[in-house]
C-alpha cells in the first residue's frame, strides 16, 4: 500500500511507505483516475532566528566589543611611537622636521564588511573618536603640522593632514572626530574611512615643529628630547547611509515530489524584528545540490517591518511544472537612506521567524500514471 506522506522540514514530502499521515484513504494502488487530496492542508516548518551581529560576523574579535547598551564598538590602542628631537641653536621662527618610524599593527582577522569582501553590507564608522596623547620632552611650546597615513602591504590607503596642533611641554590630549562636538576637537571629515580596509601599519610623516621666537630659549642646543605620540580609537558600528544591506536566511522546508503534482504552495510566516529597519522580502527555491531553481516563482506579500513584535507575511510558490525543491531561501534587503544614518548595530537586534507553515490551498494532484 502506498501512503501519501506530507511532513515538512526535517521530514520529506513524498509518496513513501511511512510518515506522519497514515490513512487508508490515500491508498493509491487502486487509483484509476486523477484526484485532488489534502486541499487546504497546512504543515509546520521549523522557526529560525538570527541575530544581526551573527549574520554580519561581528563576534569573536579582540577589537570589537559591546557597550552597556549592547551596541557594537570598535576599540583599540595604537602602540606609542617616539621620535628623538635634537634641538638647534636658538633662532627666530624656525621649523624643525621630525621623523617617526612606521608602526606596524596587527588586527588578526577582520570582519568581511570592513575588509571590503562583504557584498551584503557596509558599515558606517564616521562617528569615530580618536583620542591622541602627545608627551613632549621639549621644554618649550610649539605648533606642529603633519600627516598620518594608513598602509596595507606598504601601500598608502588613506592620508590625513593635521594643521596647527598646539603642543606644550609635558602631557597634551586631543580629540579627533569627523565632525566637531566641542571647540577643542580636531576635525577630519573623512575620518570614517580610516579603517576601511583595516591597515597593517600606521605612519606619521612630514611632521614639522614651528617654534616662535617670542619664547625664551629653554633648551640646550644639540640635546635630544623625546616626543611620544599615542592614540586610542573608538567607534560605534552604525548602519551606513546610501548602502544596500542584504541578509540571506535559509529555511529548512523541503518538497520532494515523486508521485504527485503540486503547482502552488503558500509559505506562511510570523516574525519578530527588533532591527530598526524595514526589509523587502524576496524568496527563491534551491535544489538538492544548492542550485537556484529558475522554474519556481516565489512572490512575497509584504515587507518585513522594523521594530515589530508581531508581524506576519506570506510567500506564494508557483510553477508551471511540479514543485520540487530542497530549501526555501529568504533574502531580506534594505536600501539605506538618510533615516538609517547614525543607527547603531546592537548585539540584541535580531529577526525571529516563528509560526511558519507550508499550506496547500489547491491541494495535491495525485496521478494514476505515477503509481508504483
Q: What is the CATH number of the domain that holds 313?
A: 2.60.120
Q: 132 and 229 share a domain? A: yes
**Of the given ranges (5-14, 116-125, 236-245, 268-277), which has the lowest mean pLDDT?**
5-14
186, 204, 236 — which closes off a domain? 236
Domain match, 141 and 247 both: no
Query: Are residue 228 and residue 264 in the same domain, yes or no?
Result: no
Which CA distances in Å does 154 have to 77, 97, 114, 126, 196?
A: 21, 23, 19, 25, 15
The sign of the torsion formed by the CA atoms of 77, 81, 87, 91 equals: negative
Among 236, 271, 302, residue at a domain's last position: 236
pLDDT in tens, 237-247: 988 777 777 88
Give yes or no: residues 33 and 148 share one domain.
no
CA angle 306, 309, 315 (to 5 degrees): 70
Q: Which residue has the higher pLDDT, 313 or 340?
A: 313
| Mean pLDDT on 148-165 | 90
Give the per-residue pLDDT at 300.
92
- Give pLDDT, residue 72: 95
pLDDT tens profile 275-314 = 888 889 999 999 888 899 999 999 999 899 988 999 999 9
Number of domains in the chain: 2
Residue 40 Cα distances to 12, 319, 362, angstroms = 19, 18, 6
For residues 224 and 94, membership in a common domain is answered with yes
- Do residue 256 and residue 364 come from a single domain? yes
Q: How confident is the model at residue 167 (pLDDT cuts 50, 70, 90)?
A: very high
Residue 253: pLDDT band with limits 50, 70, 90: confident
Instruction: List residues bridging with 281 in a β-sheet.
Output: 332
Check residues 166 and 4 and name the one with the higher pLDDT. 166
Mean pLDDT of 61-83: 91
Q: Which three cell numbers stand for residue 35?
A: 484526484
| Residue 261 sits in the same domain as residue 354 | yes
Model confidence at 92, pLDDT cuts 50, 70, 90, reads: low
Say whether both 92 and 108 belong to one domain.
yes
Range of the structural domain that residue 191 is part of: 63-236
Hey, what's the cell of 39? 486541499
What sections of the chain are H helices per DSSP? Answer: 52-55, 112-115
Mean pLDDT for the chain overall: 81
Are both 137 and 44 inside the same structural domain?
no
How large is the average pLDDT for residues 207-213? 82
d(CA 62, CA 39): 55
pLDDT tens sequence across 122-155: 788 889 999 999 999 999 899 999 998 888 888 9
pLDDT higher than 60, residue 258: no
% helix, strand, coil for the chain, step of 5: 5, 50, 45
Statement to judge: residues 82 and 107 lie in one domain: yes
258 and 341 in a single domain? The answer is yes
Specify the pLDDT at position 153.
87
Residues 7 and 24 both lie in one domain: yes
Q: How many residues does the chain have?
A: 372
Q: How far, in Å, CA of 22 to CA of 16, rounded?
A: 11
Res. 112 pLDDT band, cuts 50 70 90: confident
Domain boundary among 178, 211, 236: 236
Amino acid at each position: 500500500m502506498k501512503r501519501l506522506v506530507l511532513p515538512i522540514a526535517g521530514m520529506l514530502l513524498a509518496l513513501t511507505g511511512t510518515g506522519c499521515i497514515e490513512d487508508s484513504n490515500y491508498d493509491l494502488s487502486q487509483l484509476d483516475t486523477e484526484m485532488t487530496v489534502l486541499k487546504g492542508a497546512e504543515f509546520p516548518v521549523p522557526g529560525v532566528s538570527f541575530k544581526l551581529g551573527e549574520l554580519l560576523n561581528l563576534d569573536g574579535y579582540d577589537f570589537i566589543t559591546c557597550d552597556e547598551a549592547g551596541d557594537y564598538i570598535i576599540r583599540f590602542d595604537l602602540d606609542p611611537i617616539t621620535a628623538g628631537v635634537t634641538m638647534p641653536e636658538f633662532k627666530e621662527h624656525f621649523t624643525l622636521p621630525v621623523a617617526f618610524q612606521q608602526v606596524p599593527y596587527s588586527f588578526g582577522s577582520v570582519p568581511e564588511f570592513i575588509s571590503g569582501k562583504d557584498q551584503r553590507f557596509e558599515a558606517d564608522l564616521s562617528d569615530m573618536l580618536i583620542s591622541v596623547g602627545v608627551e613632549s620632552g621639549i621644554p618649550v611650546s610649539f605648533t606642529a603640522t603633519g600627516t598620518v597615513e594608513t598602509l596595507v602591504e606598504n601601500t598608502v590607503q588613506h592620508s590625513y593632514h593635521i594643521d596647527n596642533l598646539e603642543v606644550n611641554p609635558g602631557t597634551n590630549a586631543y580629540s579627533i572626530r569627523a565632525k566637531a562636538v566641542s571647540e577643542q576637537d580636531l576635525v577630519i571629515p573623512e575620518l570614517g574611512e580610516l579603517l576601511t580596509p583595516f591597515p597593517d601599519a600606521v605612519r606619521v610623516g612630514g611632521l614639522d615643529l614651528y617654534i616662535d621666537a617670542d619664547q625664551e630659549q629653554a633648551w640646550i642646543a644639540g640635546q635630544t628630547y623625546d616626543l611620544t605620540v599615542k592614540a586610542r580609537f573608538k567607534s560605534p558600528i552604525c548602519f551606513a547611509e546610501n548602502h544596500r544591506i542584504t541578509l540571506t536566511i535559509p529555511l529548512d522546508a523541503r518538497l520532494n515530489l515523486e508521485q504527485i503534482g503540486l503547482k502552488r504552495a503558500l509559505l506562511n510566516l510570523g516574525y519578530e524584528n527588533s532591527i530598526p529597519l524595514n526589509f523587502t522580502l524576496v524568496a527563491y527555491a534551491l535544489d538538492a545540490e544548492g542550485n537556484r531553481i529558475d522554474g519556481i516563482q516565489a512572490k512575497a506579500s509584504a515587507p518585513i517591518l522594523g521594530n515589530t513584535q508581531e508581524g506576519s507575511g506570506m510567500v506564494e510558490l508557483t510553477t508551471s511544472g511540479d514543485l520540487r525543491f530542497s530549501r526555501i531561501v529568504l533574502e531580506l534587503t534594505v536600501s539605506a537612506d538618510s533615516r538609517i544614518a547614525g543607527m547603531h548595530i546592537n548585539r540584541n537586534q535580531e529577526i525571529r521567524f516563528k509560526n511558519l507553515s507550508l499550506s496547500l490551498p489547491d491541494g495535491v494532484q495525485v496521478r494514476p500514471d505515477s503509481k508504483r
